[in-house]
Chains A and B, each alone.
Chain A
Amino acid sequence: MNKKGFSAKKILRGVSRLTKSPAMQEWLENSRRPGLWVTAMVLCFATVFTALTLLLPKKDFSEKENRKLAQFPAVSWAGLADGSAARDTESFFADQFTGRDFWIQMNLRFRRLLGQKENGGVYIGKKKTLFLIPSRPNEAALNKNLSAMEAFASANPDVRTYVAIIPNAVTVLKDKLPAFAPVPDQAAQMQTVAEGVPSATFLDVTEALLAHKDEYVFYRTDHHWTSLGARYAFEEMAAKMEITPAEDYDVYPVSTTFSGTLASKSGRFKTLDTVDIYVPHTETEYNVTYLDTQEKAPSMYKKEALDAKDHYTVFFGGNYGRVDINTTAGTGRRLLLFKDSYANCMIQFLYPCFDEIVMVDPRYYYDSAAPLITQHGVTDVLYLYNCDTFMTDTSLADALAAPAANPADAPGLPAPDAEAASPADAEAETKAADNAVAGNADSAGKADD
């Protein structure tokens, strides 16, 4: 820079020489009117940016916010009369405002300068780590879920029941949180769960994760755990579940450019994550059946997800009401898995240990899960949730409830051979499609946790 003659000193000298020149002196004399400057600036600024906003080509989609951007509303009398045209115009102007991302970053920087350590429900932690701020537990729903789980376990005494509640990054990576950031006591929350389902074996993986807290066990820009984190947890769980993990794994980094939900929520895009998949050294083969769509696949990995925004959906393409995995393991054990998205990257470790895994995500599953036990000869039930989601879940108890009295009233109760997606699942699809954005639209899975 210096050689090119643009050093700060030179600029300053230039400016001071300029201010001492007679022409400048006179101009300064006449311009004792900061208001005029402001007026000129505000008006110029307004004109330039308004013109740019209106004239530059419009954007359809914001990668950073992961949503469609508002367009100029279609003019209609109805829209004018109910005021929606006005609101839509406001959204249009704000969404298409020239340099939108730049302005948002500037504001974030301003707030960070003031010392604020969170934005959009996300803690901005040390070492570029972002944390989803856990929600307040929904006590009523939690108690309902726990009693339903206990009742389900008592109703199936021959089936081994395990509960694994995974502590979130706020617990495991505590030392990377902003100073004094308030977080719930997840150990106490897990204790409540363990005590709420005495018939089940509670699998506490906190220590296993804490032992590796300096490794890459959680994504920095996303609220999920990494495959590595899932592996450490799996090894801890395997011992108690009396299953034998694979000797070793081939690790493939399938993405090094993953920018997760926390980056979008907080507006902080300082780093990118790597998504690894773990392929076990095993003879066992498997195939995947998506009951919502009747799609069958030879692999749990969806490559298409890597072209979309959310690379975590490389595992199964997101969440589905029910997914069956049939394997050639020959262990004689069949698993019914109630889960949220944390389980999606756990299956790669679980599948060599079970002949069949029936994966139920109660948030998108509208039947009773009770008949699945006999239909599939289930020997093991596992509840695998991350703590934050589990504390606020409102759908598990319904899935565990007894089936409708008359089977005919419960259409699509899946039989092993003739499985049909229930109408409720179809409804979930529509909802998802409504909300799906360009990137996620092609993989109809729901990436919510």
Chain B
Amino acid sequence: MAFNQLLFPFIFLPVSVLLFAVVPGRFKKLTLLILSAVFIAWGNPGDLLLIFLSVAFNYASACEIAYLKKRRQAKKARNVLIASVVVDLLMLGFFKYYNFAAENVGALLHANIAKNTMAAPVGISFFTFSVLSALFDVYRDNAPAPKNPLDFALFVSFFPKLSSGPIIQYKDMMPQMEALSVTKDRLESGLRVFVVGLAKKVLLANTLGLAFTAVSDLPTAELSMVTAWIGALSYTFMLYFDFSGYSDMAVGLGRVFGFHLPQNFQYPYCSDSVSVFWRRWHASLGAWFRDYVYIPLGGSREGDGKTVRNLLVVWLLTGVWHGANWTFLVWGLYHGLILILEKFVFAGVIEKLPTAVRRVVSFLLVTFGWVFFFSPGLGSAVGFLGSMFRVTRFIDSTALYYLGGNWILFLICIVGCTPVVRNLAVNLKKRGYRWFYVAGAAVFALLFILCVAGMVSDTYSSFLYAQF
């Protein structure tokens, strides 16, 4: 079930909140766990089994690691850690990368390697990283072993964050398991964040998706420069509003049930360098790689050579984490390379540039990166980038048409990517304008109503007679 399907805000959410609020304290976690199981099974009942197996295996591993560490058998604990991590990564790899590997190795050997036809369980990239953080945290004594298997299961499968994050780390989530409850304050602020996220997804991202699909359906060779930019920008905005919208919804829902999930996006497109961008874009993934890969590898403390190596490793993995395709690998390395250049080559130059220039340059670099992200292959990515610089064919009527249909949306998106609206709201609140509260509520009401219209329309399909 997706948060932006009618059934979620209209039935699943109210029922969940109500149930959670009325059951006595000691059953609240169990209630959430059952709700999460229903949420998972709703999409594909088979996922429930895989997630259960992962939970059981990693719970046992974490307990074993803690037990061995207590008995000062560090080496054994290390072996258990390594074995468990390998098992988790194999499961992730099987569902995510096996087909890609089979395809490429098969092409290389001119052999036909059997493909996996099982669909990957929902949120496997996310919950695998959750369980890995648990293993590492327990091994490194950052957090105690899970006492209650139900707590651990809830940590892995908590439905607001299961399918798309944020990737909350074990050491951050487990201490929050105590004293779960619904309060009026949390309910109101949680739902507010949820509605904002829903609006980002339904009103902006889905509408931008239409423009992006339209442009990407055109043959690359026919694109004028402006059309290509409209395509690239609509994807850039769409990805942000889609992903940050989903994260907002997760954070808001988490808050309703008393969990503080990490903010995943902090106006990333306003960053004045790509390094800063990565601290603000999908921050929970960046934090994960920092805590569990970059720093254990030595981080930036062991000389420039090792730092460069570590950065490349992290960015290679970041790229691959996003999907099994050469384009993601190139995209990851592209960002790794930019970060290395920012850190070692252009640090002095960048400092002297005005902030506005730095912001624009960072935004453009990120936008070029997304071209690799959305292209089906490296060839088409290069072709698309070529169209973005095709000065000989600057603009055509197609570009004017899409510009006419989307400029208002782009303006809204540009404003939405900045903290302007939030700052305005904070300011007005500080001044204590009474009408502000009424107006604020009206805005939220309007957003929610428009979201409902959008969610209903997403299911609009006219019957088009016999189409063979």
Contacts and interface: CB of A to CB of B under 8 A. Distances in A.
B409 interface: yes
B407 A35 contact: no
A66 B463 contact: yes
A36 B462 contact: no
Contacts of B465: 261, 310, 435, 440, 446-448
B459 A42 contact: no
A239 interface: no
A398 B338 CA distance: 56
Interface residue range, chain A: 35 or more
B437 A38 contact: no
B460 A117 contact: no
A80 interface: yes
Q: Identify whether the interface residues of B are mostly helix, strand, loop, or mixed.
A: helix
B116 interface: no
Contact of A34 (B203, B437, B462): B437
A67 B467 CA distance: 14
Contacts of A35: 185, 187-189, 191-192
Contacts of B276: none
Interface string B438-468: 1011001100111011111101111111111
A38 B445 contact: yes
Contact of A36 (B1, B188, B455, B460): B188
A97 B459 CA distance: 11
A31 B14 contact: no
Interface string A76-96: 000011110010011101110
B10 A37 contact: no
Contacts of B192: 34-35, 38-39
Given A181-B401, A446-B466, A448-B467, A93 B440 contact: no
B14 A47 contact: yes
Contacts of B449: 106
A38 to B, nearest CB: 4
Interface centre among A43, A117, A118, A261 (most CB of B within 10 A): A43
Given A103-B452, A103-B453, A103-B456, A34 B441 contact: yes
A363 interface: yes
A81 B45 contact: yes
A60 interface: no
Nearest to B188: A35
Given A38-B195, A437-B463, A103 B457 contact: yes
A196 to B, nearest CB: 22
B189 to A, nearest CB: 5
Contact of B9 (A38, A46, A437): A46
A267 B460 CA distance: 8
B5 interface: yes
A38 B17 CA distance: 15
Contact of B405 (A29, A118, A265): A118
Given A95-B459, A107-B456, A86 B42 contact: yes
A39 B21 CA distance: 14
A151 interface: no
B357 interface: no
A100 interface: yes
Nearest to B445: A41
A120 interface: yes
A94 B459 contact: yes
A83 B122 CA distance: 13
Interface residue range, chain B: 35 or more
A82 B146 CA distance: 33
A216 interface: no
Contact of B7 (A89, A182, A264, A265): A89
B464 to A, nearest CB: 7
B37 to A, nearest CB: 13
Nearest to B187: A39
A317 B135 CA distance: 68
Contacts of B448: 38, 41-42, 45
A65 B400 contact: no
Interface in A35-63: 35-39, 41-43, 45-47, 49-50, 53
A179 B1 contact: no
B11 interface: yes
Nearest to A61: B463
A116 B214 CA distance: 12
Interface in B132-191: 184-185, 187-189, 191
A436 B466 contact: yes
Contacts of A180: 397-398, 400-401, 404
B239 to A, nearest CB: 19
A115 B397 contact: no
A110 interface: yes
Contacts of B463: 65-68, 264, 435, 437
Interface in A93-114: 93-95, 97, 100, 103-104, 106-108, 110-111, 113-114
A114 B13 CA distance: 30
B114 interface: no
B44 interface: yes
B300 to A, nearest CB: 42
Interface in A432-448: 432, 435-437, 440, 446-448
A32 interface: yes
B298 interface: no
A72 to B, nearest CB: 13
Contacts of A28: 434, 437-438
A282 B447 CA distance: 63
A117 B405 CA distance: 6
Contacts of A436: 466
A47 to B, nearest CB: 7
Contact of B440 (A34, A67, A100): A34
A115 B402 CA distance: 10
A91 B459 contact: yes
A264 B461 CA distance: 8
Nearest to B192: A35
A94 B6 contact: yes
Nearest to B397: A180
B207 interface: yes
Contacts of B7: 89-90, 93-94
Contacts of A31: 437
A33 interface: yes
A182 B401 contact: yes
B467 A104 contact: no
Given A37-B445, A120-B462, 19 more contacts: A28-B438, A32-B437, A37-B441, A38-B195, A39-B188, A41-B441, A45-B448, A65-B460, A67-B463, A83-B42, A89-B7, A97-B456, A103-B453, A104-B453, A107-B456, A115-B406, A116-B210, A117-B404, A264-B464
Q: Which 10 A-B pairs have the closest CB atoms?
A: A35-B188, A67-B463, A37-B441, A264-B462, A34-B440, A180-B401, A103-B456, A107-B457, A94-B459, A107-B453
21 contacts: A35-B185, A38-B441, A41-B448, A42-B9, A42-B448, A46-B10, A46-B13, A65-B463, A83-B42, A91-B459, A97-B6, A107-B456, A110-B203, A117-B404, A180-B397, A180-B400, A182-B397, A264-B462, A265-B462, A267-B460, A437-B463
Interface of B: 1, 5-7, 9-11, 13-14, 17, 41-45, 184-185, 187-189, 191-192, 195, 203, 207, 210, 397-398, 400-401, 404-409, 434, 437-438, 440-441, 444-445, 448-450, 452-457, 459-468
